Structure 1
Amino acid sequence: MRFVKLMPLNSISLKVLLAYVAGMILSITLLVIAAVVVVQTNVLARMDLVDAAEGLSDDIEFDSRGRPVGIDSRRLNELAWLFEGPQRETAYRILDDAGNVAFFSSAGEAFWPAGGDLLWLERGNFAFEHEGTAFFGATEPLEHAGQTWYLQFAASARFVDLLHRAAFPLVVAGIVVFGVVLFVAFGLCAYITLRYTLKPLRDVSESAAAISPRFISARLKTEAVPAEIAPLVDSFNRALERLERGYRVQQEFLGNAAHELKTPLTLIRAQIELLDAGKNDRDSLLGDVAYMTRQVQQLLLLAEASEAHNYHFTTVGMQEVAHDAASYLQRMAESADVHLAVRAVGDVKWKADRSACFTLLKNLLENAIQHAPAQTSVSVEIQGDTVTVRDRGPGVDAEQLPRLFERFWRAAHRRDHGAGLGLAICQEIALAHGWRLTAEQAEPGLRFRLSTPTIRW
């Protein structure tokens, strides 16, 4: 039971061990099948006879004239039972390079058939019949005193079959014993190796489980993690960094929002308290309510812009959206005595959420109108993969350019008392679309440039 708990069904260790077990079983099965096939055919017999002929050739004795006279006496005593007896199950002979027999075993010349393949003197196998019994044989050349001789060794098929039948159980038993030993030894090694190899992953999992909002700055260590898993841990750490940045931004956002809403709420409270004293200024009270309402709307719009699932992407004509935004702000521009101009080169279409795209251009135009001097123009230029919005106002200092898209940051010279979230909303929309929104000095004024990596049709 403990093993089952340690090795669940979806465990990498269990899958590797099961693959190892399957491989071992398949290997042993194939070995047994190969042994059966070899034993049931003549392949093994021919190989054994070649080996036997080669072994006998090393024990041949020669006389002073360099002619073979038989097998070494000591070796012959060991093999006497093999070549002697009435059954004549084995025999051998030695021939010269002309095919003349120089020496016979006790089987005699009558044992060997005349002519045929047996006189084709080269290393290899042959077969023949003698008194109705099939024989397999092998020829082995040997050199002595500059002359080549040929040893031919033959054994009956029934003799070879008897040896193989006696040896087969031993071969199978050997394979089984070898397989069991290999299975236990390598299985244990595989289990221990996997256990220690996967230990860093367990440590990483425990470290990941310990990460919480209170310890969001913690990161997973990659020193002891296997090289194959290290990229995953690095990706997880980068995801943690993004989460930490998002968490910090949200915390800062909540703090700024609470601070921004605190002031109008205090003013409204004061206005209400003055009702009884008859000193209430109705216009001031309504102005504070309108200001706070705008802040709440901007906060809700920023939260919506930060969520990618709120977008519905379609093919959008940028010139049409720009004209709609300019028409929407026309009265505001007339009040500020600012002229709005939209110019487009060709029919430019991007892949975008139309509502979000309208909000982005509207906020950029609204920001430009608020900073543009009277009797000047605010222009929108659309060309290919770039949309620019420019005013002719005083602009901002170079060190303040990076702060334009910060939440709740407001420039000193603006006509309204906005929440400072308009450009932050524009940046969130641009990021959600994969666009790039930047600000640069136009001299005079400020130019916002919205660009796409490729032209959106």
Structure 2
Amino acid sequence: MRFAKVMPLNSLRFKVLLAYVAGMVLSITLLVIAATALLQSNVLARMDLADAAEGLVDNVQFDSRGRPVGFDASMNDRAWLYEGPQRETAYRILDDAGNVAVVSSAGEAFWPADGDPRRLARGNFTFEHEGKTYYGATQPLEHQGRRWYLQFAVSARFLDVVYIVALPQVVAGVAVFGLVLFVAFGLCAYITLRYTLKPLRDVSESAAAISPRSINARLNTDAVPAEITPLVDSFNRALEHLERGYRVQQEFLANAAHELKTPLALIRAQIELREDGGNDRDSLLSDVEYMTRQVQQLLLLAEASEAHNYSFAVVSVQEIAHEAAAYLQRMAETADVHLTVRAVEDVQWRADRAACFTLLKNLLENAIQHAPARTSVSVEIQGETVTVRDRGPGVDLAQLPLLFERFWRAAHRRDHGAGLGLAICQEIAMTHGWRLTAERAEPGLRFRLSNGERSNETERDI
């Protein structure tokens, strides 16, 4: 139902359509005013008389001697206009000397003996007869080498009656014509604008889809209107600058993590080789372990944000979940927590196996760290969803959005981690196109991992 969506007031399409509507209304209004003014003036009457006289010329009938005798049979249906007693219309035909050859029933006395009617030349004239104003027109014609002049006259009041009757018809005709024009051209304008601006909508959707995981993407300008292309090019150049800065930042983070790993390993080795130290030695080793873990997670976070670091293949989620549970079995036994993995079927996803293992391992590790002793942490695989649940104290609703923030740590965890484990999980999930969410389980916390790509395919199939 996108066609029926209401356009916002600041829409370019709305403004163009509004300009079109205003132009159409103004055009129709001016057309009605012009038609009314012409109908109420004698300008149109004179033009009509000239056309009527020219039409009468084509129907003049001549005798065998080449003299006009009246009109042919095609004029019989209009003879009443010139023969009635009202004397509202009249005609006559003159030779080049001004002598009357044919005259209507009004007679020669109807026509003035001097003035414009006596000037034998093409054109319009006006005269008075019996207190009434008449408009006339002279039209020359040729027959057998001789020139004749047809004069046609109509009273002003007759024209007034005609135009009074015709005015509503003309206005109605203009209104109907304007309405049809408005609807037809309005529909064409809307459809044209819709498909003309479609490339802009496509570019907007492409821009909205760009994220740190696809920062190398660029907007396509092939179908973009020429007026908008410079703006899209500028946006692409801005993306290039952002990508360069992002790559530099990620490379710095990875390089720093790599550089710190070796000194930390040497420090740890030196501390372990010391025979004295006692509690100080254990404290130093704990600090070095914490720093090593933090550096390792920083390195994983930098790698997880880059899709080109992954090698995608079809993997068994159940198999990876069992491997992660086995890897953390000793940690779970130390915390007196029972690990279970349940799968309804062998679910296979397209993923990087190592990244998928890291994601499930971090989720299980986080659950173990928050689970009370003698409770269980479960992994359930069903359809396109994997859930990891503990039965610990959980978190407040206000803290749920903070779970995937970098360096955020809950207050009741057992270890002193860096607060990057769940952030790494979120980066891996987003890079794969999955959806990772957290919700209160009452008791405990449930993490839900959904394969968004497969879910969308299922919805399309349905």
Structure 1 vs Structure 2: percent identity of aligned residues?
Answer: 78
Match of 2:243 in 1: 244
Deviations 1:160-188 (A, max 9, x none): 11111111111111111111111111111
Match of 1:231 in 2: 230
Per the TM alignment, residue 20 of structure 1 is displaced from its structure 2 partner at its CA by 1.2
Q: Give the distance between the partners of 2:276 and 2:190, measured in 1 at CA.
A: 85
- Structure 2 counterpart of 1:147, which letter? R
SS at match of 1:64: coil
Deviations 1:176-204 (A, max 9, x none): 11111111111111112222222222121
Match of 1:336 in 2: none
Q: Would the aligned equivalents of 2:110 and 2:129 in 1 still touch at CA under 8 Å?
A: yes
Residues 1:102 and 2:116 are matched in the alignment? no
- Structure 1 counterpart of 2:144, which letter? A
Deviations 1:107-149 (A, max 9, x none): 1100000111112222111000000000001111111111211
Per the TM alignment, residue 260 of structure 1 is displaced from its structure 2 partner at its CA by 6.5
Q: Give the distance between the partners of 1:103 and 1:5, measured in 2 at CA.
A: 72
Where in structure 1 are there 5+ consecutive unaligned residues?
279-457
Q: Give the distance between the partners of 2:268 and 2:188, measured in 1 at CA.
A: 76
- Structure 2 counterpart of 1:103, which letter? V
Match of 2:331 in 1: none
Taking structure 1 as the reference length, what is the TM-score of the superposition?
0.56
Per the TM alignment, residue 277 of structure 1 is displaced from its structure 2 partner at its CA by 8.6
Per the TM alignment, residue 246 of structure 1 is displaced from its structure 2 partner at its CA by 2.1
Per the TM alignment, residue 253 of structure 1 is displaced from its structure 2 partner at its CA by 3.5
Q: Give the distance between the partners of 2:211 and 2:237, measured in 1 at CA.
A: 16
Q: Would the aligned equivalents of 2:92 and 2:152 in 1 still touch at CA under 8 Å?
A: yes
Match of 2:204 in 1: 205
Deviations 1:52-74 (A, max 9, x none): 100100011112222211111x1
Match of 2:170 in 1: 171
- Structure 1 counterpart of 2:67, which letter? R
Taking structure 2 as the reference length, what is the TM-score of the superposition?
0.55
Deviations 1:383-406 (A, max 9, x none): xxxxxxxxxxxxxxxxxxxxxxxx
Residues 1:194 and 2:178 are matched in the alignment? no
User: Quick one: structure 1 residues 2 and 239, their matched pair in 2 at CA, closer, same or farther if it must change by over 3 Å?
Assistant: closer
Residues 1:160 and 2:159 are matched in the alignment? yes
Q: Which moved more, 1:235-244 or 1:210-219?
A: 235-244
- Structure 2 counterpart of 1:59, which letter? N
Deviations 1:25-57 (A, max 9, x none): 111101110011001111110011001100100
Match of 2:74 in 1: 75
Q: Give the distance between the partners of 1:167 and 1:29, measured in 2 at CA.
A: 18
Per the TM alignment, residue 21 of structure 1 is displaced from its structure 2 partner at its CA by 1.1
Alignment of 1:29-428 (within 5 A): 29-72=29-72, 74-256=73-255
Per the TM alignment, residue 230 of structure 1 is displaced from its structure 2 partner at its CA by 2.7
Q: How many residues align?
A: 277
Deviations 1:335-387 (A, max 9, x none): xxxxxxxxxxxxxxxxxxxxxxxxxxxxxxxxxxxxxxxxxxxxxxxxxxxxx
SS at match of 1:122: coil
SS at match of 2:79: helix
Per the TM alignment, residue 261 of structure 1 is displaced from its structure 2 partner at its CA by 7.2
SS at match of 1:56: helix
Deviations 1:235-270 (A, max 9, x none): 222221222122212323444456667788899999
Deviations 1:306-345 (A, max 9, x none): xxxxxxxxxxxxxxxxxxxxxxxxxxxxxxxxxxxxxxxx
- Structure 2 counterpart of 1:111, which letter? F
Q: Give the distance between the partners of 2:38 and 2:275, measured in 1 at CA.
A: 113
Q: Give the distance between the partners of 1:261 and 1:98, measured in 2 at CA.
A: 122
Match of 1:418 in 2: none
Per the TM alignment, residue 92 of structure 1 is displaced from its structure 2 partner at its CA by 0.6
Match of 1:327 in 2: none
SS at match of 1:126: strand
Where in structure 2 are there 5+ consecutive unaligned residues?
278-462
Q: Would the aligned equivalents of 2:40 and 2:163 in 1 still touch at CA under 8 Å?
A: no
- Structure 2 counterpart of 1:201, which letter? L
Q: Give the distance between the partners of 2:139 and 2:275, measured in 1 at CA.
A: 130
Residues 1:20 and 2:20 are matched in the alignment? yes
